[in-house]
Amino acid sequence: MAVSGFEGFEKRLELHFFGDDPAIFPLGLRKLDFESLEQVLEAVQCTVVSAVGNSYFDAYVLSESSLFVYPTKIIIKTCGTTQLLKSILPLIHYAHHLGLTLSSCRYTRGSFIFPKSQPFPHTSFKDEVTYLQDTIPSNLCFRKASIMPSKSSSHSWHVFTANDSAHTLPHMPYDHDNELLFTMEICMTELDPILARKFFRRPEDGRSGDSAGKEMTKLTGINEINPEALICDFAFDPCGYSMNGMDGDWYSTIHVTPEDGFSYASFECVGSVNDSIAHVLRKVVQIFRPGTMSISTTCNGFSNDMWTQMASAVEPLGMKCRSFAMDQFPAAGTVVFQTFTARRKSV
Amino acid sequence: MAMVYGDRSTSFSSQVLTFHSSAKWNAHFDALKQTNKLMVVDFTASWCKPCKVMDPVIQEFADKFRDVEFVKIDVDELLEVSQSFQVQGMPTFMLIKKGKVTDKVVGVKKEELQRLIEQHRK
């Protein structure tokens, strides 16, 4: 592991809003001016690199990860040393102008590779929770903070949730087709160096980040994870890759920091508990061949089946499940945190 | 050469055309088929914020690439046209020459769009 380098592990924030004025809908938060979004991102210290929208949501590729804007929810995921929590107050402010109030907040992250490089309040989970407690409005009175462990002290899953008691979430984790959904966040480190090289730009290729990104999506097989999804991709100079996928109202997102010594890749998506996620998991493992991987799934209710399905999907690819932790969060649902390591052949 | 169609005013200078009826669009499309001119069609929606990001870019390209035609189509207004081009995400830019889609760009990708315009305008 390098002494210092780019921090791939993201901080993720999901905010839900509520509004009872029918005039706000169907657009809701999608009515936020682009200028307002830029101001929010400025507080976080990142910028928009690319964007695309469909009838359900808008997806933005940022200089340090992604932003998704739905009518009643916003998801921001940022890496590096960004100050993600600083987006909360401006978002509450702008949403208020639209007649929307915050009803739920969920903050999650893995363990930083370079924790000492993080700015306050990301200096520790304790500092983050204190900041969140002070920032989030008091109407979100059902709160919980938890560090979910694995067998390694350097790989934990940190979760903070806060909800408004009047608006419990049963209706939220369903999509417009009324399917029960789960969110899956995969974090991978020690990527196969040969596969990671595909995320480096060829020197002086004379191409734009957009077209180089498109090429990387095809070359790596990322477009085969979900062939139905519309992909908005970008390749950073000299290396690094980001993409947002859109499939109806389901999003997916991938971010890659390919440098040896601190290589990292994340894959996140929304899925239906009725569908098999095995194909997706297998493709992701094949694209990155990580040394270590964690899978965190959040759902309002699904069978034990789901987790054994996930473990058995990646087992044939040499990923062995090393730990399993489960915790329940008021109104946000059940979070399961599993870690895996590759059974490598010694050279 | 800036021909303005439609009986409603356009919100852009006459360099970016807009169409409000599929009949007028079809007539224009057929007329352009006979030429060697590259047409860039920007499929947008009034409610789509990413589209707004590209609006000034298209204006800039229309000013810069005088031999290329730029058209803006609202997907709600001309639903059948956007469906016939299978537009899913917005903004979508279709590069059309002699009646055929030679390339397309989906999303806010200024540099990629510029590269393709420069490639196909010859």
pLDDT in tens, A84-129: 999 999 999 999 999 999 999 999 999 999 999 999 999 999 999 9
Helix (H, G, I), strand (E, B) or coil at A126: helix
Residue B2 lies inside a defined structural domain of this protein: no
CB–CB of A210 and B111 under 8 A? Answer: yes
**What's the structural domain count of chain B?**
1
Any CB–CB contact under 8 A between A317 and chain B? no
Query: A304, A313, A314, A290: which is closest to A336 by C-alpha?
Result: A304
* Mutate which: B49, B105, B110, vs A, most A CBs within 10 A: B49
* Mutate which: B43, B54, B108, vs A, most A CBs within 10 A: B108
Residue B5 lies inside a defined structural domain of this protein: no
Share of chain A above pLDDT 70, in %: 95
Any CB–CB contact under 8 A between A51 and chain B? yes
Query: A185, A147, A198: which is closest to A298 by C-alpha?
Result: A185
CA dist., res. A324 & res. A319, Å (int): 14
CB–CB of B115 and A211 under 8 A? Answer: yes
DSSP state of B102: E
A-B contacts at Cβ under 8 angstroms: 67
Closest in A27, A31, A232 to B107, CB measured: A232
pLDDT of residue A102: 96
Average pLDDT, chain B: 89
Share of chain B above pLDDT 70, in %: 89
In this predicted structure, the answer to whether residue A346 has a pLDDT above a threshold of 60 is no
Residue B9 lies inside a defined structural domain of this protein: no
The pLDDT confidence band at residue A187, using thresholds 50, 70 and 90, is very high
Residue A337: its H or E element: strand A333-342
pLDDT tens per residue across span B2-14: 444 444 444 445 5
Any CB–CB contact under 8 A between A71 and chain B? no
pLDDT of residue B102: 96
Cis peptide upstream of residue A170 (ω within 30 degrees of 0) = no
> Checking DSSP bridges between strand B38-44 and strand B69-74, what pairing results, if any?
parallel
List the CATH number of the domain containing B37: 3.40.30.10
* Mutate which: A25, A210, A215, A236, vs B, most B CBs within 10 A: A210
pLDDT of residue A267: 98
pLDDT of residue B113: 96
pLDDT of residue A301: 66
Chain B residues in contact with A227 by the CB 8 A cut-off are: none
pLDDT tens per residue across span A308-331: 888 999 999 999 999 999 998 887
Q: What angle do CA A290, A294, A298 make, to 5 degrees?
A: 145
In this predicted structure, the answer to whether residue A12 has a pLDDT above a threshold of 80 is yes
Average pLDDT, chain A: 92
- Residues A8 and A79 sit within 8 Å (Cβ to Cβ): yes
Residue B34 Cα, gap to closest chain A Cα (Å): 30
Entry pTM: 0.93
What is the average per-residue pLDDT within A238-245?
A: 96
Residue B1 lies inside a defined structural domain of this protein: no
Any CB–CB contact under 8 A between B99 and chain A? no
Closest in A51, A69, A207 to B53, CB measured: A51
pLDDT of residue A163: 93
Residue B109 lies inside a defined structural domain of this protein: yes
Q: Is A128 annotated as a binding residue?
A: no
Residue B3 lies inside a defined structural domain of this protein: no
Residue B94 lies inside a defined structural domain of this protein: yes
Chain A residues in contact with B109 by the CB 8 A cut-off are: 50, 208, 210
Residue B121 Cα, gap to closest chain A Cα (Å): 18
Q: Which domain holds residue B79?
A: 16-120
pLDDT of residue A331: 79
- Residues B18 and B12 sit within 8 Å (Cβ to Cβ): yes
pLDDT tens per residue across span B52-97: 999 999 999 999 999 999 999 999 999 999 999 999 999 999 999 9
The tokens describing A333, both together, are 């649902």
Closest in A27, A37, A50 to B109, CB measured: A50
pLDDT of residue A302: 60
- Residues A322 and A294 sit within 8 Å (Cβ to Cβ): no
Any CB–CB contact under 8 A between B6 and chain A? no
Residue B37 lies inside a defined structural domain of this protein: yes
CA dist., res. B33 & res. B49, Å (int): 32
pLDDT tens per residue across span A114-171: 999 999 999 999 999 999 999 999 999 999 999 999 999 889 999 999 999 754 554 4
CB–CB of B88 and A230 under 8 A? Answer: yes
pLDDT tens per residue across span A54-73: 999 999 999 978 999 999 99
pLDDT of residue A300: 78
Concatenated DSSP letters of B27-75: HHHHHHHTS--EEEEEEE-TT-HHHHHHHHHHHHHHHH-TTSEEEEEET
Closest in A34, A52, A209 to B107, CB measured: A52
